[in-house]
Structures are given as structure tokens and as C-alpha cells.
Structure 1
Amino acid sequence: MEKQPADRTQKGPDFKQMELEDITSKISALDKWRAIFSSHGLENCRPAIKTIQDNHKGDKENEDRPETSSNKKHATFPGSVLYSIPKELIISSELGGQPITIEMAMELRKILFGNTFQTFTYEWKKSFFKFREAFSNLAYALEAEKGGTRAIQMVVQAHIIKHLLFTKNYQDYGSFNSLSEISQKQQEKALAASLADILWTTGAMNKAIVCLITNESYFSESPNYKTDNFTEKLHLFEFVEKDKLEKFLCAHIYSFKDEGSHGVILFLYSVLFSRTILRIQHDLDYTKNHLLHFCLGNYTVRQAVLNLILTGRASPHVFNGDQILEEQIPEQKLHGVLTRSEVGYLHWNRDEMEQNKLPQVGSMLKTPKYPIWLCNINGTYSVLFGTNTSLLCDWKMEHIFDLYFYSGQLSQTKTARLTVDTHSHPWEGRYKTEEADHEKRFPSLEMTVRTKWEGAAITWNGTLPFF
């Protein structure tokens, strides 16, 4: 007689007890994983919890089998390498410097987020300074993320270009072709020199701080501070000589350029400590009291961060000098840019133009010491640069000249070359005789260039116009 399947409705007490114990065991396992995720800053990573749930279903089938290389189970944490610093990137606390204190960490949080409980998102934690392939068309270039860290990566990119084109350490000084002949070692040296320049400038040319990570936490969570398993491990190194600063950065450049290093955050922390939190608070005005802005699920940097990296001062505005809104209320002073920067800044946004809210960038940023500009085009950051330093100090050089453009996007495989003619204005005749709005018909990059050279004609030299 064919054996009938067991009636699942006729379960005895022992069977029900076994089911209850199995469910309890699984819940306990999930609680254990949640605790592990929390300690790694992954408490909100639901996809990882789901993966562990799915893997746990097969545990009963394997528990009586001998453990082999083929059936050995490993817990996998999606993205965990990006949350936890790899061991090879962690420095020894015996190297020197001083450990961060909880008071310093709280000051960091307040100046960045406005409180001590918000922490950096996944996108920020995974961001670092990654170069394109050495000895390629874009050997000089960094890969830039699309989100909130892109602005910092691209302003560092501008300083890298300055170093590669306008320092005499390179054979083809000021030559565009030299940018495609950069080795990996030269990439690392250029990054270290650029970070050193920025930190030395923010430290008022007499001091700089470099933040690195150790393998021990110097304080734990408190009612007034939420840990992130990162900031609590900071070690601060102070330098009063720029040469020693650059050598130190060269020796530890992997802490900023390797995957999992949290390199962008480390650099931002170093910038803030070099300037000092107290000075930054004085740099800001009554319109702003912290440096990051939360929008669409992520943090973006305010203008004060860009100005800090560009000029050494965290002024919230891009016009020259300070402006007093009302003489009767002197504390309502708006802080602008006080000094001419080495790397400049240009801004264009179609929506702001239509609403007549386009910020007027002052000459301190529009006319930097070197022909290199960080560009904010419709909220996306990129770099525009020339190779002739006379462009900004000799009006005869501004007749016809070339500018080069790098967007930071992986889709760009070679640097775009634009030829700018400031004496011929054929485009003006077209838009003045047509009803269409010329700001909507010309590429935003061209309109960005025209904020510096009004009315210039621009040729893309065979490249399909973009941006």
C-alpha cells in the first residue's frame, strides 16, 4: 500500500516544541547579526539582514556534514569593506600625534551637521581619491562620485592640475600633453602635494593637521554623542613645516587614495582641524552655522566648504569682501572672499538664471592666480583649465585661447578642448534675432565660460557639446 504523507495538522507536543525552538534559534541568530551590524555602523543595512536570513535557511541541512572548503559558510556584509577601514590602512597609535577627544569629536559634528547625533552616509564613507588609469588620456584625473562628495573631489582635482602643470618638478612644464604621461607614482605625489597645499593654506601658512585612523577607539558612545566606529579612532598629527607635512602625506597617501580608506572624510576632517573650529565659526556669518546640507537623502557641502579649500577661509558667499545688509545691525554682515585664490570658481545654473538668483562671483574667485576653475554647473561640479599663466595677467592673451574641461564622469574618455574667442561674437547675432531664450539653447558650459568672458564665441573642436 502506498504510504500516505503525514497529516501536518496532527502534530504532537514534541514536534511543536521543536518548531518553537527552531524559530527561537533563528530570532536569536538575527539579533546576533544585528548587534554585529550596529557595531560596524551598518544598523540600517536591510539588504544585508535579508541576505543573512536567506543564508540561514540552509544551516540545518549542513550542520551534520563535515566542514569542507566547499560547504564552509562565511558571513558576508554587503559594502562592509567600505564601512570598516582595512587593516593595511590603519596606522599605529605609537607613530606620534595625539588621539581625538570626545569634546573634539562633538565640535566636529556640530560644525558639520549642526548637532552631535548625525553621521556620514554610506556614500560619504565609501568615497576616496581614485585616479584614472596611469599613462592614459586622463592620467591626471580623479574619478568623482555623483553625490555630495563630488564637490570636494573636484576641488582637489583642480589643485592636482595646478601642481602638474605649474610646478617645475615636471619636464613638460605647462604642457597639456604632459598630463597624459603621468605614472602611478606621480599621481600619488601630485595628490600628496595638492593636499599639503590645501592644508597649509587653511592653517594660515604656519600650521597644518593631518587626521589618520588607528585600530583603537579613544572614547565610547554617550548620551550626547553617537559613535560611527570611525571618528572615535582619529589620530591628529600637527606640522609647522610644509616640507615635513608633504613628506608625511606622501608616506601615508594610501590613507586617502585606497578603497575603504574613508579618504574624503579624512581629508575634510584634516581641513577643519587645520583651520580650527573656532576660526571656522568666525568665518561663517549669521546666515549659516554648519557646513553640510541634507538634501534628497544625502549630505552636500555648502559654499563655505569650497571657499575654505579654495582660499583658506570658510566664507559662505562668493562675492568680494564683506557686505553689511543694514548699518543699524552690524552683526548682519555677510562674509565674502577676501583674498585672490590660486584656483578659481565659476558658477552657472539655468534655474537660478531664470529666477534672477544667479550668485555674482567676485573677481577674487573669477580671476585666480592660475588659469584653473572649479565649476558649479547646474549643481554639478567639474574643472575648467588653461595651460598659459599669462592668460590672467596679460589682456593680449585673452583674444583667442584654449581651455580644457574635465567633468569627473567615467563616461568622459578624453579631455574636451574649447577654443574661446573674446573678440568675435557670432552667437550674439543669432540669439538677438530669434525669440528663443539663448540660455536654453546654448550648452551650460558655454554660459559658464561667458560669466568670465562675456559674449565670447566658443568652439568645441570636434567634440559633441555637453554640459
Structure 2
Amino acid sequence: MSDTSKEVVDLVWGRPSGGGVPASLFRRWSQGFVFSEAERSALEQFEGGPCAVIAPVQAFLLKNILFNTEGSNWKDISEEEQRTVLCSTLSEILESACLNKTQAFHLATWPRAKTTDSSDITDSHPEPESSQTTDTPTALAAEELGFERFHSVIQKRTLRTVAELREAVLSLYDTWKNKFGVLIFLYSVILTKGIENIKNEIEDTSEPLIDPVYGHGSQSLINLLVTGHAVSNVWDGDRECSGMKLHGIHQQASVGFLTLMESLRYCKVGSFLKSPKFPIWILGSETHLSVFFTKIAAYGCIATADAPVRFGKEEKATQLAFSMRFRCDLNSPYGSHGIKE
């Protein structure tokens, strides 16, 4: 395992004592971005844990279907529309994680079939356009790879422009769908953002992005995907406590975040997350994340930080069009999926 690979692993999984990352925990995170057959615009989660990645992707995906795609029926999108909107969503999140658009983007990818013996996260640059074909996952994608083997075969692919990034993400559609797609995307965001940049934003660098016991994602992980910044708090701006600067959210988010913890007075979510640009919110509770939205932008914004979202009784009853639950039951690793209109 290369130094870069080890840094990514330490940042995401921590440095567990004893036998390393439990096989059951790694297995729960080993899934791709899979669309539901019953609800064509919904992403499914199979076990508890990866909702910290799936829910933000679901929120941005809905934004792109409802507000960025003309004539699209969110209840019945085609397979080609699924492909296009998922890849554009993943590209959007990767672009937001890049601090400087003049910097390179990085994708964690499977090695090509001819290079399956190569190991570690190594740099590779895009091939000339004429030689690029649609990337398909190798036989490795179907294997029951263990933690160490998985990380030994991941490669880092470097893209120099936004256009190259979008083309590469689209070509990797089958990779995003396979059983390790969620982790490969998460690692791509981390590599694009930069390990040191993430460490500078996280409040406690000893806390991994994935909890080593329960397997849920940290607030820093959720914020990274929602805002492009891996800060640990949900309030507006920075605050000082005993001489220590605590980083918060610095601009209005495209999609919002709410938490049950605020009703219990454990924290207070700032207006940058409460009043997003589009009326779509991720809702966090003790054990799961949910995504809900209204299709009518006038009721949920498009908001400003000075004009928070408010719903009347009838609007609450009629405009809440969709609710998806990603259950991460702490007593059971199994996650169920349901949609309610």
C-alpha cells in the first residue's frame, strides 16, 4: 500500500487496533449507486452505514432532475436519464470539492484489465481522446475483495480540466454502479479535495470520517459532500471557543441539512443549510438520514440566507412530495429503503 493510499485509509477508517477494520463494517460500505426499480429516481441502500454518501448524492440528484432537466418526469426516468443525471451529479460534487478550479481533479478507479497486477493508488493521466473508450469494471469488481486487497488495486487517475472530469465520470458509469462504487466515489472526492486540506478543516483529525464501531459517516463527511468543505459544524461562519476557532458553513448551500439534534438542543443549524438554494433537505436523526423535497421552488426558495424557508399547514400537507429513508439502525446493520409520497 502506497503512502497516499495509507493516508486515505487512515483519514476514512482511522487506525483501528487489533485486527484492523472489521470485515462486516467494510462489507456494509461495499455497494454501488443503484437505482430502485420501484422508484426510478431513488437510490437504494442495502445495509447501514453508507447513507452519509448516498443521501447527499440523492439530494443533488433530485436537484438536477427537478430543476436542471427540462421535461423530466422524476417518477419515471429512463435508464439513459439515470446514467446522465447520476454522472452529472457525481461530477458536480467533485467540482465543489476542488478548492481551485485550476487544480487537477483526481478519480479513484479500478485498474484496466491489462494492468490488474498493478498495486497502490498510483497516478495515471488521461489517454488521448481518440483512444478513450467506456471504462468497464474488471473482474475485480465482482470479487469478494477484502479490505487490504481492495485498497491494493485502486489507482488514482488525474484529470486536468472540468471537461475531462465530466467525460471520465460518464465513462465510469458501470464502476459507480458496481459493489464498490460508493467507496470509490468517496475516495475520489477526498483525493480531489486533498488530504491535507481536509485535515485542516476537520475539527478533530483523530476522528475518522467513518465511525469504526457503528459505521456511520461523520458530520465532516456529510458537509464535505454537501458544501465541498469538511468542517465539523453546521452553524453559519466561524466561532471561537476558549481561543480555538471552530469552523462552520460560509455560504448558502445548494441543498440543505436539518437535524433532529437541534430539537433536542444539542446544536443549532445555520441559515446557510436551513435555507438552501433549492428546496431539498437532508434530515439527520439518531439512526438514519432522510432526503425530502418539494417540487415547487417558490415554497422552498430558491432561498436566500435572509429569507428562511417557511411552510404553512396546507403547504406542509401538499408540497412535501417525496421522502426517502436510509435507515442505519445501530442495533442492526441492515438498512431498509422506502419512499412515501
TM superposition score normalised by structure 1: 0.57
Identity %: 25
Secondary structure (helix, strand or coil) at the match of 1:346 reads: strand
Q: In structure 1, how many angstroms separate the alpha carbons of the residues matched to 2:161 and 2:297?
A: 28
1:302 maps to which residue? 218
> 2:86 maps to which residue?
191
Native 8 Å contact 2:44 2:337 kept in 1 = no
Counterpart of 2:321?
Answer: 404
1:188-231 CA distances to partner (integer Å, 9 max, x unpaired)? 111101100000100125142111111224259xxxxx971111
Q: Which residue of 1 aligns with 2:14?
A: 114
Query: Which residue pairs with 1:202 in the alignment?
Result: 97
1:136-164 residue CA offsets vs partner (Å, 9 max, x unmatched):
5x110011234111221111111110111
The alpha-carbon deviation at position 415 of structure 1 amounts to: 3.6
Instruction: List per-residue Cα deviations over 1:420-464 (Å, max 9, x = no partner).
Output: xxxxxxxxxxxxxxxxxxxxxxxxxxxxxxxxxxxxxxxxxxxxx
- The CA RMSD measured in Å over matched residues stands at 2.6
Q: 1:344 aligns with which of 245, 256, 279?
A: 256
1:131 equivalent to 2:35? Answer yes
Matched, 1:158 2:76: no
Aligned residue number for residue 132 of structure 2: none
The number of residue pairs the alignment matches comes to 289
Counterpart residue type for residue 309 of structure 1 = L
Higher relative contact order (CA 8 A, sep 6+): 2
Equivalent positions of 1:264-413 (< 5 A) are 264-286=182-204, 289-295=207-213, 298-326=214-242, 329=243, 332-349=244-261, 353=263, 356-390=264-298, 391-393=300-302, 398-399=311-312, 400-401=314-315, 402-408=319-325, 412=338
Q: CA deviation at 1:348?
A: 0.8
State the AA in 2 paired with 1:156. Answer: V
2:4 alignment partner in structure 1 = 104
For 1:210, the aligned partner's letter is: L
> Counterpart amino acid of 2:281?
W
Question: 2: distance between equivalents of 1:305 and 1:279?
Answer: 13
TM-aligned CA deviation for residue 380 of structure 1: 0.8
Q: 2:148 pairs with 228, 239, 246, which one?
A: 228
Cα deviation for residue 406 of structure 1 reads 2.3
Confirm or deny that 1:179 pairs with 2:80: no
Supply the AA of the counterpart residue of 1:209.
H
Q: Which ranges in structure 1 are unaligned for 5 or more consecutive residues?
A: 1-100, 173-177, 221-225, 417-467
Amino acid at match of 1:148: G
Query: 2:251 & 2:201 partners in 1: Cα distance?
Result: 13
**Alpha-carbon offset, residue 106 of structure 1:** 1.4
Flag the 1:145–1:275 CA change in 2: closer, same or farther, 3 A.
Answer: same
SS at match of 2:149: coil
CA drift of 1:393 comes to 4.5
Would the aligned equivalents of 1:123 and 1:147 in 2 still touch at CA under 8 Å? no
Q: What is the deviation of 1:389? A: 2.5
Amino acid at match of 1:364: F
Cα distance in 2 for partners of 1:347, 1:269 equals 26
Which ranges in structure 2 are unaligned for 5 or more consecutive residues? 122-145, 327-335
Query: 1:123, CA displacement in angstroms?
Result: 2.7
Which amino acid is the alignment partner of residue 35 of structure 2? F
